[in-house]
Structure 1
């Protein structure tokens, strides 16, 4: 166990105010008594009032003036915090500045040896951040605040592949980060229905005087799952769809917004899904054919046949054009 992990363990042993002897601490941590006293000196240097009293009623304890024990983390916990910050930053999390400030406070409480170890442990992981519009952070903050306050916002939104902007009043219920994009789940006043809006496609956003009450217990992730379930064509027995392919191409299939909820098993070269037959027949032939020969459907035979028919229809279509 690293030195500061032992120091943390010793601190937690002493935090309840009872006195312990150096031998008791040494036995518990499987270290020497001499090391215990070195740790006491280090804790005192860090501002923890550890007292070692000699005599019959003596022992090691923390002064009562030390009422609020600050948070202490072991080396792996510290690494996890820094790595989590990197992922949040890469995702475009709108409060990365505040998160960085909190981490600085934690790091400032470390002694030099801990800082050096933390730097070494976290230097091997980086998260490559995609380019994001400058407006995104402000929009995420404003949407989250509107959801918190129950305030309707007016957005100017541009759909994918659309040249025209649309202005809508929406009640933002929550935000979700999915497939490397941020989405606002909101009730659209114009369509009088729940909708999802990609936040990077919101070109302008402003609060209105309108108010709303968010449904109790609303969850954006649950909403996404419910939408997937509603996309099913039929209830009843499910069929196993087994697909073989290169890892990177299988990753694309498995991360598809609809299919990923039906994934049941995944290996390096194969993926299995459980879908009802009508949903499979309606969506998969046209989608899977876009991967060409990079993937192969192993089962069921019906799906293989429908992909063959789709490919044959495409070939015939272009054959007619060349005649």
Structure 2
């Protein structure tokens, strides 16, 4: 890993010309002390890194220095394959690999292309951390150690032991046969089987993982798109699913759809509001979702949900009566 970091450090200096130890530490996600040790290691290996003193100083390479250390490692190549979503790479624990791979790709470009690409990149911003209302849009991320073990088991076709928490329950260990990884709306999932039964695990709920030597019991090839669709269908029609009929203001419709499990039916009314039937995971999910929409929606059925929302609103009004 240190060798990859040293290569990334050289490529950063080639790309930016000069960077302070603080800026390098931020880009490489390490401490400034680590950066200084890496600079010493590069100098000892014959890489011409020199320091510029002063307020606007930093580290730079001697003009004309080039390196051919642009080969991608396995994780960097994998990160580029999922780079259609930068946050998708982060969900699978490949954020740092993606950053390193991009540096190597940029460095491999001809000089004229490199200048053009760098200028164009300054005009693009993909997946900012906040939206226009300053709401944080952070993706779920796994600890590197957990992400590495999960990926290894998936790619090697080995059984995987995970420490997994369901809801508010205490996490427990379980051994699964991993099939593949899926990311949806910045949330990552592990598709697997357990004792022959299909299982779907939220990556953020895995607090520890261990790749086992035993081969996983799974088909040689799998259509992840079809597998995800099939599991979604079973999820929407099983368990404690609750179907709610409601009216929603057009300004809040997208928020409702993003929160619900599925839209069963929808009809736009003359006043612009939509009459919608949607499904939620359970009664608690339905009550929470309708409460978030405030006066932008009205639950019509079932009656118990109207009663629950009325009781909650009455309690809140009582709290602020004075």
The TM-score with structure 2 as length reference comes to 0.51
DSSP-derived class of the 1:125 partner: coil
2:191 corresponds to 1:188: no
Partner residue of 2:175 out of 146, 149, 169: 169
User: Shift in Å at residue 198 of structure 1?
Assistant: 1.8
2:210 corresponds to 1:206: yes
- Give structure 2 stretches of 5+ with no counterpart: 1-79, 130-136, 318-322
Contact 1:286 / 1:307 at 8 angstroms: preserved in 2? yes
Going from structure 1 to structure 2, the CA distance change for 1:108 and 1:314 (only over 3 Å counts) comes to closer
2:153 corresponds to 1:146: yes
CA deviation digits over 1:157-184, x for unaligned, max 9? 223323x220111111111112322111
Contact 1:246 / 1:294 at 8 angstroms: preserved in 2? no
User: Shift in Å at residue 138 of structure 1?
Assistant: 3.4
Going from structure 1 to structure 2, the CA distance change for 1:180 and 1:87 (only over 3 Å counts) comes to closer
CA–CA distance in structure 2, aligned partners of residues 81 and 195 of structure 1: 25
CA deviation digits over 1:30-66, x for unaligned, max 9? xxxxxxxxxxxxxxxxxxxxxxxxxxxxxxxxxxxxx
Describe how 1:268-283 pairs up with structure 2 within 5 A: none
Contact 1:158 / 1:202 at 8 angstroms: preserved in 2? yes
CA–CA distance in structure 1, aligned partners of residues 164 and 212 of structure 2: 16
Equivalence for 1:256: 259
Equivalence for 2:102: 103
Going from structure 1 to structure 2, the CA distance change for 1:125 and 1:184 (only over 3 Å counts) comes to same
User: Shift in Å at residue 95 of structure 1?
Assistant: 3.5
Equivalence for 2:49: none
Q: How many residues align?
A: 221
CA–CA distance in structure 1, aligned partners of residues 266 and 118 of structure 2: 39
2:159 corresponds to 1:158: no
CA–CA distance in structure 2, aligned partners of residues 187 and 82 of structure 1: 24
Going from structure 1 to structure 2, the CA distance change for 1:204 and 1:93 (only over 3 Å counts) comes to closer
Equivalence for 1:232: 237
- Determine which structure has more spread, i.e. the larger CA radius of gyration: 1
CA–CA distance in structure 2, aligned partners of residues 241 and 216 of structure 1: 45
User: Shift in Å at residue 216 of structure 1?
Assistant: 5.4
DSSP-derived class of the 2:217 partner: coil
Equivalence for 1:94: 93
CA–CA distance in structure 1, aligned partners of residues 206 and 82 of structure 2: 31
User: Shift in Å at residue 108 of structure 1?
Assistant: 2.7
2:243 corresponds to 1:244: no
Going from structure 1 to structure 2, the CA distance change for 1:205 and 1:257 (only over 3 Å counts) comes to farther
Backbone CA RMSD of aligned residues: 4.6
Going from structure 1 to structure 2, the CA distance change for 1:82 and 1:100 (only over 3 Å counts) comes to farther
The TM-score with structure 1 as length reference comes to 0.51
